[in-house]
Amino acid sequence: METQRLSKVLAAYGIASRRACEKLIFSRRIKVNGATVTTPQTLVNASKDAILIDNKPLPALSPASVYLLFHKPKGFVCSHNKVSHQRIIYELLGSEPTRLFSIGRLDKETTGLLLVTSDGLFSHQVMHPSSNILKEYIVKTDKEILDTHLKIIQEGCDVEGVWVKPHKVVKIRKGTLKVVVSDGRKHEVRLLVANADLKVRELKRVAIGQLRLGSLKEGHYRPLTAHEKTLIFL
């Protein structure tokens, strides 16, 4: 393994995003060969140097891990348990040899960007509230969106006993708006829109962090690149 910057090595091992790894280093939580390091640009060789985080060694790399960007179609559920005639997303991922799971879920009627992986640590990092990752949705409603609707949505509503407010709400067209949230609670976007007396006709997630769905067709998937994985945390 080649010599690389410490912050890059930590991110490659799935500790956190590059930016979050720099904060760990600045917080004096990282040791290299017994010495505390406070400079993210410090050059290290992960195969030769003893790197500790909070006095614990780095986790083992999982070269066989799978990371997929998947365009979930309508009518499929994010579950391994098939009930009756219900269709599950893994029917569309049957060619992958490793047991996969989605990072979070989109409900049956929601389409769009879904991350699928075999890496539990990566999934935890994406899902953990401390990552504060924004998710962007496009919502098509049953009637024209007025300023009063936008104001009500922006004020937030109760979701699972917690008052949540969207990060951003923007009208795109007559009956279409963009909603950006960070909480990721069940049916959060649908409840925010319904609270403004709007009916959701279509709901699609188009971005997670700065990773965008792009032109990938419904029901299709492709591997995430190393760069795209970092975009999730930006």
The answer to whether 90 and 80 have CB atoms below 8 angstroms apart is yes
Write down the residue that tokens 């590059």 correspond to: 18
- Which tokens in the block code for residue 102? 């989605």
- Which tokens in the block code for residue 221? 């998937």
CA dihedral (221, 227, 228, 232) in degrees, to 10, reads 150
Q: What is the three-class DSSP state of 81?
A: coil
Integer Cα distance of 204 and 106 in angstroms: 9
* List 107, 142, 147, 197, catalytic entry: 107
Catalytic residue status for 197: no
Of 50, 14, 10, 54, the closest CA to residue 32 belongs to 50
Integer Cα distance of 106 and 93 in angstroms: 16
Cα distances (angstroms) measured from residue 87 to each of 25, 75, 113, 199, 216: 45, 7, 18, 25, 21
Residues forming the active site: 107
